[in-house]
Amino acid sequence: MVAAAATSALLPPIGSGGASDFSAFLSTTAQPLDRARKAAVLGSMGAMYNPAFLKVIAPLYDMHMGVENMGPMLYSLVRFQKPTHVLEIGAGYTSIFLLQALKDNYDELVRYQELIKRDECHCDGTPWCVDGFMEDESKHFGRLACVDNLAHAATTAHKVVEAAEKLELLDHLDLYFKDAWEYMDDSSGVAHNPAEHVGEGAAASSTTAPPLLDMAWLDFGQGEKLGLFVEKVWARLRPGGLVLCHSTLTNTLTRTWLEKMRSRANDVTDVFGSFATMSFREPHKLFQNSFSIFQKRKDYQEPTFTKYP
């Protein structure tokens, strides 16, 4: 079990400055120390940090795709945001980072539940977790809908299943080998609905509307059609959700589209409504060197929980 081995191998040392209740838990001899540490909520204990993970996914890497730093970035965003419904257009190297993040999220939240049961999930008596968030663990079991038509000459999409199986991530994956436009099923030009196909193990019927997306990662060459595709995805994005687009800054076609998007960010009458955007560039690379994030702000406002800190 690669993922399990990664978890136990990378747990950091427990210092004397930890919470007293957890230190007391570690002092018991009822179970081995490594198992006791697993019960802690340590975000960095995810499998991405283990060399075994990188060894398994190495065959999926291709320099032409330019995602050697994008994979870890996506992993970190998913770990932070805790999405449960993720769409990826263009399967390959990044798919495994997304899948591993979804699994690590679920494992982390299960550990939180264990701390709650032991009345150890608090800070000086104040609950650490949002009230009600942890009650139904099944709703936090994230899934990745991954779509690829295998048309790209350098595609590594066919290796995704093999890597996901080795890392025990298949339960989080719905893989569609088909055209992205067909998957979105917008032939009428009006309906914004994915193709009515269900991945292995997914509980849905052909008449069930797909859930709103929490995050979408678009990594496919659409050129001038990129804007149209983003609109289709946007219609399925929940308020507060994220759309990430690869290679947006330094080539003429996507840069022109991006500048238009930037000018529309505060136009509430626009089809996108209110949204926030930011772009990032890898300065050492000539191409495949950037990505842009768009957050749907219409009908969305972050909650306020505390005054300090």
Identify the pLDDT of residue 58: 93
Phi, psi of 99 (to 5 degrees): -65, -45
pLDDT tens across 181-192, in order? Answer: 889 874 223 222
**Tokens, residue 230:** 């983003």
pLDDT tens across 235-252, in order? Answer: 999 999 999 999 999 999
The single-letter DSSP state of residue 292 is E
pLDDT tens across 44-54, in order? Answer: 678 888 889 99
Mean of per-residue pLDDT scores for the chain: 79
> Do 42 and 8 contact (CB within 8 A), yes or no?
no
Measure the CA–CA gap between 221 and 308, rounded to whole angstroms: 45
Q: Scanning the structure block, which residue is given the tokens 């009600």?
A: 132
What SS3 class is residue 123? strand
Identify the pLDDT of residue 23: 39
Q: What angle do CA 197, 199, 204 make, to 5 degrees?
A: 65
Q: What are the boundaries of each domain within the chain?
A: 47-296
Measure the CA–CA gap between 219 and 152, rounded to whole angstroms: 12
Determine the average pLDDT of the residues in 134-144.
84
**Tokens, residue 200:** 């292995």
Is 245 exposed, middle or buried, given 0-12, 13-18 or 19+ CB atoms closer than 10 A?
buried
Instruction: Indicate the pLDDT class of residue 42, thresholds 50, 70 and 90.
Output: low
Query: 104: Cβ–Cβ under 8 A, 6 or more apart, which residues?
Result: 45, 46, 47, 48, 79
Determine the average pLDDT of the residues in 88-115.
93
**Tokens, residue 292:** 């842009």
pLDDT tens across 252-277, in order? Answer: 989 999 999 999 988 888 889 999 99
Q: Scanning the structure block, which residue is given the tokens 């550990």?
A: 111
Measure the CA–CA gap between 41 and 39, rounded to whole angstroms: 7
Instruction: Indicate the pLDDT class of residue 224, thresholds 50, 70 and 90.
Output: confident
Measure the CA–CA gap between 290 and 281, rounded to whole angstroms: 4
Phi-psi region of 185 (alpha: psi -120 to 50; beta: other; left: phi over 0): left
What SS3 class is residue 106? helix
What SS3 class is residue 71? helix
Residue 5 pLDDT exceeds 70:
no
- 47-296: in CATH 3.40.50.150: yes
Q: pTM of the full predicted structure?
A: 0.80
Instruction: Report the candidate in 132, 248, 146 with the shortest Cα–Cα distance to residue 197.
Output: 146
Determine the average pLDDT of the residues in 102-123.
89
Instruction: Indicate the pLDDT class of residue 40, thresholds 50, 70 and 90.
Output: low
Measure the CA–CA gap between 78 and 289, rounded to whole angstroms: 20
Residue 115 pLDDT exceeds 90:
no
Neighbours of 158 (CB within 10 A): 14
